[in-house]
Amino acid sequence: MSESEVQEINCKTLLNKVTVPDYAFSWTLNPYRGCRYACRYCYARSTHEIGGVDLSAEFDQKVFAKVNAPEVLREELRRPKWQGDPIAIGTASDPYEPAEAHYQLTRKIIKILTEFQNPASINTKGVLVKRDVDVLRELHQVADVQVVFSVGSVDESVWRTTEPSAPNPMERLEAMQFLVEHGIPAGVMMAPLMPGISDSSDSIEAVVKAAAQHKARFISGSMLALKPGTKERFAPLIRQSYPHLVPGYNKLFGGKTYVPRDYSKQVLALVESARRKWNLPLACPPRELKGPQGQLGMILTA
């Protein structure tokens, strides 16, 4: 990715307070807007707005780098009211998307979190995270940190169809293993589990087995959500690549964002069964991460 494809912007704030009830995170941050991985199901397209202009259709074409993000974060963490709550990094764009190779914003942010001994959870599909094993280890010495790799399927056909520019799922698992072997807690979020595509027992079993074989510290799963900005781009994929699933999707979603609760429970029960079979813990909720390390460490439930 050339530098010319990235627009540099300055942000006034970086930390985002989460107000959704029962949401896993209290605070999030994203060094970038947009993501070149071009996942067809990406729920974050609706967040791609600059100056009041909706750019969701260009989410994977126009990437904005918040070049002053590290400095802004330092000032926010210095505030007397800041309590050192865990921060989820990469909830609206991948912090290791291709622009990170040049800008190194995520790396700089990890260093600042280390300065303040602030716990964090990093969500990514990027294998570039291996570059930062040194600063991740430094953070882990003073505060809890975990790296969560998004791997919804290990089927190459599904990968090429739904995640055309993201790293191969097996490469993600190899990156995860690299981090674990260097002392960094890392695991898998099976996301999204797509009805009829990656939510079968066999598909889920394959992911959990591969995760276990690559030394995952934890695993969990979540269902596909078709939010505005996402549904308009995911529906054509179903019609073109999985036409036999069109009636089922119309029935499951029917103008709604989420699949019915009963359907979700059935799929997540398959995840739970496979998790127990391969003896993998569940990921601990980021809100249970406290810092500095030693007050309350990472909680993993068997």
CATH of the domain at 51: 3.20.20.70
- Domain for residue 302, yes or no? no
pLDDT at 6: 92
Q: Is the pTM of this model over 0.85?
A: yes
What's the structural domain count of the chain?
A: 1
- Domain for residue 295, yes or no? no
pLDDT at 297: 32
Unique residue bearing structure tokens 């074409």: 61
Quickly list DSSP for 261-296.
HHHHHHHHHHHHHHHHHTT-PPPPPGGG--SSTTSS
pLDDT at 43: 80
- Domain for residue 300, yes or no? no
Extract the tokens encoding 189: 């979020």
- Domain for residue 201, yes or no? yes
Residues of the chain with pLDDT under 50: 1-4, 48, 51-53, 56, 285-302
274-299 in b/e form (b: 16+ CB < 10 A) is bbeebebbbbbebbbbbbebeeeebe
- Domain for residue 153, yes or no? yes
- Domain for residue 149, yes or no? yes
pLDDT at 11: 96
* DSSP letter, residue 185: -
> From CA 221, how far away is CA 264, in angstroms rounded?
10
Range of the domain at 176: 3-288
pLDDT at 296: 30
- Domain for residue 48, yes or no? yes
pLDDT at 294: 36
- Domain for residue 294, yes or no? no
Among 124, 146, 122, smallest CA distance to 298 is for 146
How confident is the model over 211-268, as pLDDT tens digits? 999 999 999 999 999 988 888 889 999 999 999 999 999 999 988 999 999 999 999 9
pLDDT at 286: 47
